[in-house]
Structure 1
Amino acid sequence: MRNIPLHWQIIAAILLAVAAGVIGGPDASLGSLQLTAVYAFLGTLFLNALKMLIVPLVVSSIISGMAGVGGDKLEKLGGKTLLFYACSSLIAILIGLAVVNIIEPGGGDNRALAATISTSDPEISESLAKVEGRGTGDIVQVFVRMIPSNIVSAAANGEMLGLIFFSLLFGFFLARSKSEHAATLMHFWQGIMDIMTEITMWVMKFAPLGVFGLVAKTVAITGFAAFKPMLLFFISALIALLIHAFVALPLALRYLGGVSPRKHYAAMTPALLTAFSTASSSATLPLTLKSIQEESGVSKQVSGFVLPLGATVNMDGTALYECVAAMFIAQVYGLELGFVQQFTIVMVALLTSIGVAGIPAASLVAISVILGAIGLPLEGIGLLLVTDRILDMIRTAVNVFSDSCAAVIIARSEGEDTLIAAKP
């Protein structure tokens, strides 16, 4: 196994997991041992190991990146990063809007789906409880939490926006500091980042086992039969996500970054497969940093600034999905949306994809805000639960790929050669 590239190991694990989940189903067991419990155990161990790395890796990478870039370049680098993230998310949303208008997955026979929603269903009731009373005020509160009153508490609770804000400040003033101890601090944070990278490489040796557990559990519990009535919605969201991942972002890589999209896909394959199986941009961040630095050749200064920020605020796939989901629910309820309502969906999806990053059940909260903005019942969220897990895995991979594209394009704009530059 040692001689087999990691991405092939992960692909093999995913295929075996799908087979195990389909054949065994949710009730499969070996004697008294429930197989889904085994899958959950393997997946949870791997996911916890990745989450264990997030806080020290994010803090050290941002501080090291900021200190290495220097305070004078922050405004320029930060401006480029935020501009790319805003533009890529907007393009993703517009792609989703175009696809859902063309296919109309909620029209025709699927309009009868609205009558099938039962708020007495425990899963639907639980999901509605998470979003009940949510509104645009929740988005404002997330931005308030960007400045944490207690940085230790923010780290313990996984409030990444607060951690990122503190790390940016620390790195900025460390780069400008004239203190005799500044160099020592720079070496300290760089040392932590180097060690965290080594730990990441060790954890990733167990990735095939973790991926197998996560995917097998999902397939065993979800199955495929429930997808039939929602197939058109699933296909619409999938097509839009694929267009963004395989058309829009590669064009940006080629013409804005001057790099080979094919080489970048190859470099990012392990990270993308991990993002797909974990459905977590933050949990995938350690491997994303490793791949972008070692395989794509982006400097630690640029990647250490761009990627942790992107893992929290750049959600192309999520923003696209929010738009498609809201339009689908509107179609199911027979609501014809005009230009103003669709423009509202686009703008709210763009804002919520950033603003709800720190809220549990983030995509459901974001969709509930959109539904409230255009006057649709929250019960429509119940329609999304059947396909949500699989689409969550796919849109997370798109989120991670967008972050990596930003890192490469911004590195190229800063004059870095990278390892994937296109041949002249």
Structure 2
Amino acid sequence: MTKLALHWQILIAIIVATIAGLVTGTDASLFGVSFYAIYGFVGTLFLNALKMIIVPLVASSIITGIARIGDSNSLGRLGGKTMLFYAASSLLAILVGLALVNITTPGIINGQAAGEQLNLTTDANELAMVVEKVEGKSASDISDVFLRLVPTNIIAAAAGGQMLGLIFFSLLFGFFMTRIDKDKSDVMKNFWQGVFDIMMHITLWVMKFAPLGVFGLVAKTVAATGFAAFSPLLIFFVTVVAALCIHTFITMPLLLRFLGRVRPGLFFKKMSPVMLTAFSTSSSSATLPLTLETVEKDIGVSNKTTSFVLPLGATVNMDGTALYECVAAMFIAQAYGLELSMVQQFTIVLVALLTSIGVAGIPAASLVAITIVLGVIGLPLEGLGLLLVTDRILDMMRTAVNVCGDCVGTVIIARSEGEQTRIAAS
């Protein structure tokens, strides 16, 4: 019997969890143990497993990716152009998401914060601490984001969840790992590649239990609130989808037309197999071989450009992921009833931009990055469980956007290098 795909397993889990939550409520029990407590245990266990893999996954992903770039000896003009474009495109994606989430306000229903509907923390003292921690931030706190990039103790920073410091350290480590004696460098590269391969397997193994985790989280929420939780989640889902579509079909075509001097319609026609593969696999890394072949043979970009820009993009360029992180953080903040100032929202933008480079190109890895964003701005990780309900389909969509952004960047950079593609505008 063919095994069901993960997204179908998660969909079935959501349906079963909804029924179970409605039937059992918060009071039903078995042998003295309430079903509500069982749901909470299963959901928390899955969230703990996700948190467990954060540090080694982020560190090994960045170190191996930067080491590959350093080996290419292309960190000059081409590298500078590539990093500049990827930073700019990710920033544009984040700003699109930020604008849309401020318009739709998915975390606010009928003028009230949706935290109670979503079964988030309602304890007055705990909520007051969250409000004080988040709303107490000011413009001076932006400097703290940069200070966290250079921690005094990298081990303590990682243990304390200060992931920005770990990201910066990993970037430096990966770069200078290629600047030492070759025999020592090879040992370190093999070690970190081994760690990364292991963490990818662990992450994929943990995600096999996603249906159980989703079941526990959804059943607990439905048991406490009924169907009330689905209204804000639906608005959140539509907000993310709309933002991804705006970035893909408005922002990127404009960049292609005016910077790349190519025909956007023909570009999307030729890249459709790549985007469909990225959508179905939810992995920019798994899609990379097809991406390289299509951009080089069908679009006409040189091997020199594609072999550098696309692998780098699969490592550090995550337009869709960065957009999603921003919208998710704003959604959870709204659900807690927090009114974030422009400075605080800018902090979210900055952190989403920085953390998107540390996301491995594998399914659901962006959930790891969202914990970093929530932690930096002071929001409880409790809200992460809500995102799992809609995450699978959104993960597929944002991966397609990530890969599309890589290809757009490759075409534009090829144009800046004087290359003439097969889809150049007349």
TM-score, structure 2 normalization: 0.63
Q: CA deviation at 1:66?
A: 3.4
| Contact 2:277/2:287, CA 8 A, preserved across alignment | no
1:56 equivalent to 2:67? Answer no
User: How far off its partner does 1:120 sit?
Assistant: 5.5
Q: Contact conserved, 2:317 with 2:402, CA < 8 A, in 1?
A: yes
Q: In structure 2, how many angstroms separate the alpha carbons of the residues matched to 1:159 and 1:313?
A: 23
Kindly provide the amino acid, as one letter, of the partner of residue 80 in structure 1. F
Question: Would the alpha carbon gap of residues 392 and 132 (structure 1) be closer, same or farther in structure 2, given more than 3 Å must change?
Answer: farther
2:98 is aligned with 1:93: yes
1:216 to 1:360, Cα distance in 2 relative to 1, 3 A: closer
Structure 1: gaps spanning 5 or more residues: 272-287, 334-340, 369-380
In the alignment, which residue of structure 2 is the partner of 1:390? 386
Higher alpha-carbon deviation: 38-47 or 210-219 = 38-47
Map of 2:296 onto structure 1: none
- Residue 45 of structure 2 is matched in structure 1 by 41
Q: Does 1:316 align with 2:327?
A: no
Return the alpha-carbon distance in structure 1 between the equivalents of residues 287 and 44 of structure 2: 29
Whether contact under 8 Å (2:151, 2:157) holds in the other structure is: yes
| Distance verdict in 2 for CA 1:95–1:210, change over 3 Å | same
2:365 alignment partner in structure 1: none
With over 3 angstroms needed to count, the CA separation of the structure-2 counterparts of 1:295 and 1:206, relative to structure 1, is farther
The C-alpha deviation readout for 1:67-110, integer Å capped at 9, x for no partner, is 3253213322211111111111122223334556xx9976xxx2
- Corresponding residue for residue 150 of structure 1: 153
3-state DSSP of counterpart to 1:78: helix
55-64 or 320-329, larger mean C-alpha shift: 320-329
Rate the CA distance shift 1:207–1:53 in 2: closer, same or farther, 3 A. Answer: same
2:352 aligned with 1:353, yes or no? no
Tell me: CA distance 1:56–1:121, structure 2 relative to 1, closer, same or farther (3 Å): same
Corresponding residue of 1:202: 201
Query: CA-to-partner distance for each residue in 1:125-174, whole Å, 9 max, x for gaps?
Result: 45335436333333321211112333444444454433333343445456
Determine the structure 2 residue equivalent to 1:246: 245
Q: Which residue of 1 aligns with 2:87?
A: 82
Report deviation, 1:388: 7.4
Identity of aligned residues (%): 18
Q: How does 1:21-420 map to 2 (within 5 A)?
A: 21-25=17-21, 31=31, 35-36=38-39, 37-41=41-45, 44-45=48-49, 48-49=52-53, 52-68=56-72, 70-72=74-76, 73-99=78-104, 110-111=110-111, 121=124, 124-125=127-128, 127-128=130-131, 130-131=133-134, 133-172=136-175, 177=179, 181-182=181-182, 184-192=183-191, 194-196=193-195, 198-200=197-199, 202-203=201-202, 206-207=205-206, 209-223=208-222, 226=225, 234-249=233-248, 256=256, 258-259=267-268, 260-261=271-272, 263-271=274-282, 288=283, 290-294=285-289, 296-297=291-292, 302=309, 305-306=312-313, 309=316, 315-320=322-327, 345=342, 349-355=345-351, 362-363=373-374, 366=377, 389-391=385-387, 394=390, 397=395, 402-413=401-412
Deviation at 1:323, TM superposition (A): 6.1
Q: CA deviation at 1:10?
A: 1.0
Q: Which amino acid aligns with 2:98?
A: I
Q: Is the 8 A contact 1:59 1:163 kept in 2?
A: no
Residues 135, 404 of structure 1: CA spacing in aligned structure 2 closer, same or farther, 3 A cutoff? Answer: farther
Structure 1 residue aligned with 2:302: none
Are the equivalent residues in 2 in contact too, given 1:319–1:350 (CA < 8 A)? no
Structure 2: give runs of 5+ residues left out of the alignment.
257-263, 294-305, 356-368, 416-420
Query: 2:303 — aligned with what?
Result: none
CA distance in 1: counterparts of 2:349 and 2:376, whole angstroms: 10
CA contact (8 A) 1:84 1:406 kept: yes
Amino acid at match of 1:317: Y
Deviation for aligned residue 1:31: 4.7
Q: CA deviation at 1:423?
A: 9.8
**SS of the residue aligned with 1:223?**
helix
Residue in 1 aligned with 2:363? none
Instruction: Tell me by how many angstroms 1:14 deviates.
Output: 0.5
